[in-house]
Amino acid sequence: MDYQPLYQALSAAGAEQWVENLPQQIKRALSSKAHGTLRQWRSLVEQMPRLSPSSRELVDDVRIGRADDISDEQRLQLEAQLKALCPWRKGPYQVYGIEIDTEWRSDWKWERLRNHIAPLQGRMVLDVGCGNGYHCWRMLGAGASMVVGIDPALLNVIQFHAIRKLYGDAPIFVLPFGIEAVPNGSNVFDTVFSMGVLYHRRSPIDHLLDLKACLRPGGELVLETLIIEGKQGEVLVPQERYARMRNVWFLPSSDTLIGWMQRCGFADIRLVDVCKTSLAEQRSTEWMPFHSLKNFLDPDNPALTCEGYPAPIRAIFTARLA
Ligand SMILES: Nc1ncnc2c1ncn2[C@@H]1O[C@H](C[S@+](CC[C@H]([NH3+])C(=O)[O-])CC(=O)[O-])[C@@H](O)[C@H]1O
């Protein structure tokens, strides 16, 4: 992938210090010898064909090309290549007539927030914990001038490379590391998204401060996370697992989280959506055949997780950096 447009945009925006290290950071992560299957995944993407899609839709879904752009044989081969990158968690994607039916209906989350955020037209956007980049594509579709996603899970990054190859050149990049690898002096983004990440962080306040450090003054934060119902000051710290996930730390009430955001210096904080995750939004599919939400809830009481905690409720907040 040609990262030059990314380096140029970041340098022009004033993040020269990051750009100095970025090529090394990317190279190191994508050639990690500690990761057994990484080389296999990368060669799978290399073997995928460079096609010319007759259409590219990003506004209302992510749809690249049509079924009749390629032969049946080509489609079967492409489908097998994409399946070799399973499990696909975030999507859905339609590519050359292949429906990648992912574990999550990530498009539903986008629907819940799209009318509440500052218009992305011409904005430089960072999506922290972007998964395989599904929402990054929707951000590009909403007119962002450049979208940078970051995610430390390498299968996600490789899935993004696959979709990016099928789509063709575009100002969209997914970088193979977490928020902690973004250095000081990267406060160049007009909008920063953090969706589904805060509860994975052991220090939620530091996460909010890290997000703040990526925003230019006046920029917008879009924060989506698991919450609990409760008053100001209430927060759930699961004893061990939450909905079978080991790495879940802080589930605040919405008022508690608003307090944390205020304390971190965010202004105009708005709670724009609260939604109980349904079994239709997160489920096992042909493209993610493992256990999903249904298996993580109490079989006798779907209002509870199998550990006895309140079942997942997700909230979306917007805020501005004063
Ligand atoms: N330190 C970190 N820095 C950045 N990303 C991280 C970090 N730790 C984990 N992640 C990444 O954050 C993503 C969270 S998933 C949300 C995806 C998308 N945003 C969505 O809203 O659908 C939600 C979930 O699976 O619980 C994963 O892709 C991790 O690899």
User: In this structure, which residue's CA is closest to atom 11 in ligand 1?
Assistant: 129
Taken in order of first residue, the domains within the chain and their CATH numbers are: 4-34+105-321 (3.40.50.150)
Query: Which parts are annotated binding residues for carboxy-S-adenosyl-L-methionine?
Result: 90, 104, 109, 129, 179-180, 195, 199, 314
Q: Is the CB of 194 under 6 A from ligand 1?
A: no
User: In this structure, which residue's CA is closest to atom 30 in ligand 1?
Assistant: 153
How far out from the chain centre does Cα 185 lie? 23
- Which residue in 163, 171, 199 sits closest to 88, CA to CA? 163
Q: Is the CB of 207 under 6 A from ligand 1?
A: no
Q: Is the CB of 149 under 6 A from ligand 1?
A: no
Query: Is ipTM over 0.90?
Result: yes
Q: Is the CB of 131 under 6 A from ligand 1?
A: yes
Q: In the prediction, which pLDDT does 34 show?
A: 77
> Per residue of the chain (322 residues), what is the pLDDT tens digit?
899 999 999 999 999 999 999 999 999 999 987 778 999 999 999 999 999 999 999 999 999 999 999 999 999 999 999 999 999 999 999 999 999 999 999 999 999 999 999 999 999 999 999 999 999 999 999 999 999 999 999 999 999 999 999 999 999 999 999 999 999 889 999 999 999 999 999 999 999 999 999 999 999 999 999 999 999 999 999 999 999 999 999 999 999 999 999 999 999 999 999 999 999 999 999 999 999 999 999 999 999 999 999 999 999 999 999 8
CA-152 nearest atom, ligand 1: 30
Beta-ladder partners of 99 = 94
Q: In the prediction, which pLDDT does 162 show?
A: 98
The dihedral built from the CA positions of residue 218, 4, 182 and 145, taken in this order, carries a sign that is positive
Cβ–Cβ under 8 Å, residues 75 and 51:
no
Which residues have C-beta within 8 Å of that of residue 254, sequence separation ≥ 6? 227, 271, 274, 315, 317
User: In this structure, which residue's CA is closest to atom 6 in ligand 1?
Assistant: 129
β-strands 189-195, 124-128 pairing: parallel
Q: Please provide the DSSP assignment of 60-86 as one string.
A: SS-EES-GGGS-HHHHHHHHHHHHTT-
Query: Which parts are annotated binding residues?
Result: 90, 104, 109, 129, 179-180, 195, 199, 314
The alpha carbon of 185 and the centre of ligand 1 are apart by a number of angstroms equal to: 23
CA-derived radius of gyration, the chain: 19
